[in-house]
């Protein structure tokens, strides 16, 4: 257990540092959410929702967490392949999930830059009031959302690798998930058939927990569902990762860059 925790901490820290040095990830995590937040501020301010700036900031921040997870975790195993490190990752005696999990959690953690950037930007430029309704719950909701998205990243990492053009799938999935999980749009506006999709996606509950903690409401249920979904993703990710590993060994496609 101690070994697993040490491995998690080292892997997480290394990958956070590694991703922080990447221009592409910092663009996605820290700069683009500011653009989205600014667009949303002006849209809400010019439209009929001028008091929704904190709502927009948090939504844009969560968009950044999803983008980091999607691009980071979705292409994770492929990148290990390109860098020639996948054989080592699989070859070590440690179970593969213990090596991959810190990486996917790290890609979601990078998204914390998004939340920080959009809140700071809103406060500096748009006089966004940073008063949190339930600061303690906010401090719980944010890591819960990151953890749950990181676990969703585990599912992405282990399923996208079976697809030949996973990167293009990542390009496709960015906007629709922002939309159906209600990051900047009330879910009641969307067609009814999108509702079940939103229920099984962690960003829906993650942003609900964060918003209810920040703006007001009862965030406990949303946080609990978010963490519960995370556990389900962990189980799915565990089996899909094992399946991928077995398939890659059987077909000798591990180093197929």
Least CB distance to other proteins at residue 2 (A): 41
Q: Does 190 bind other proteins (CB under 8 A)?
A: yes
- State the DSSP code for 27: I
Contact 212, 219 (CB under 8 A): yes
Contacting residue, 172, 200, 231, 255, with other proteins by CB under 8 A = 172
Closer residue to other proteins in complex, CB, 172/231: 172
Closer residue to other proteins in complex, CB, 136/257: 257
Among 221, 232, 226, 157, residue whose Cα is nearest residue 198: 226
- 3-state SS of the chain: helix, strand, coil percent to 5? 80, 0, 20
Least CB distance to other proteins at residue 124 (A): 15
Stretch that binds other proteins, among 13-21, 69-77, 145-153, 177-185 (CB under 8 A): 177-185
Site string for other proteins, 20-59 (x = CB under 8 A): ---xx--x---xx--x--xxx-xxxxxxxx--x-------
Closer residue to other proteins in complex, CB, 184/227: 184
- The Cα–Cα gap between 96 and 75 comes to 16
- The Cα–Cα gap between 34 and 90 comes to 38
Question: What b/e readout covers 208-244, taking b as 16+ CB neighbours within 10 angstroms?
Answer: bbbbbbbbebebeebbebbbebbeebbebbbebbeeb
Least CB distance to other proteins at residue 80 (A): 20
Closer residue to other proteins in complex, CB, 43/221: 43
Query: What angle is formed at CA 169 by the lines to CA 163 and CA 171, rounded to 5 degrees?
Result: 150
Please report how the helices 112-126 and 53-74 are oriented relative to each other, as an axis angle in degrees rounded to 10: 150
Q: Does 176 bind other proteins (CB under 8 A)?
A: yes
Least CB distance to other proteins at residue 191 (A): 10
Q: Does 179 bind other proteins (CB under 8 A)?
A: yes
Closer residue to other proteins in complex, CB, 49/242: 49
Closer residue to other proteins in complex, CB, 186/196: 186
Closer residue to other proteins in complex, CB, 31/89: 31
Q: Does 185 bind other proteins (CB under 8 A)?
A: yes
Q: In the window 146-165, what residues touch other proteins (CB under 8 A)?
A: 164-165
Within the chain, how many helices (H) and strands (E) appear? 13, 0
Among 176, 132, 173, 134, residue whose Cα is nearest residue 155: 173
Site residues, other proteins (CB under 8 A): 23-24, 27, 31-32, 35, 38-40, 42-49, 52, 164-165, 168-169, 171-172, 174-176, 178-179, 184-186, 189-190
């Amino acid at each position: 257990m101690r070994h697993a925790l040490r491995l998690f901490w080292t892997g997480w820290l290394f990958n956070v540092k590694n991703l922080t040095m990447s221009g592409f990830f910092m663009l996605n995590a820290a700069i683009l959410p500011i653009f989205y937040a600014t667009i949303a501020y002006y849209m809400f301010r010019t439209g009929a929702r001028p008091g929704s700036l904190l709502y927009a900031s948090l939504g844009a921040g969560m968009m950044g967490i999803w983008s980091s997870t999607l691009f980071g975790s979705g292409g994770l195993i492929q990148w290990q392949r390109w860098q020639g490190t996948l054989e080592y990752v699989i070859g070590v005696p440690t179970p593969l999930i213990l090596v991959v999990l810190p990486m996917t959690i790290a890609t979601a953690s990078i998204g914390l830059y998004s939340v920080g950037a959009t809140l700071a930007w809103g406060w500096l430029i748009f006089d966004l009031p940073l008063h949190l309704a339930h600061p303690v719950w906010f401090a719980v909701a944010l890591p819960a959302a990151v953890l749950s998205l990181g676990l969703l990243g585990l599912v992405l990492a282990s399923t996208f690798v079976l697809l030949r053009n996973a990167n293009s799938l990542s390009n496709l999935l960015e906007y629709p998930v922002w939309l159906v999980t209600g990051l900047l749009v009330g879910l009641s506006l969307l067609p009814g058939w999108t509702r079940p999709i939103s229920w099984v996606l962690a960003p829906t509950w993650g942003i609900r927990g964060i918003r209810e903690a920040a703006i007001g409401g009862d965030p406990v249920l949303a946080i609990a569902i978010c963490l519960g979904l995370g556990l389900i993703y962990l189980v799915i990710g565990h089996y899909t990762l094992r399946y991928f590993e077995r398939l890659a060994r059987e077909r000798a496609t591990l180093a197929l860059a």
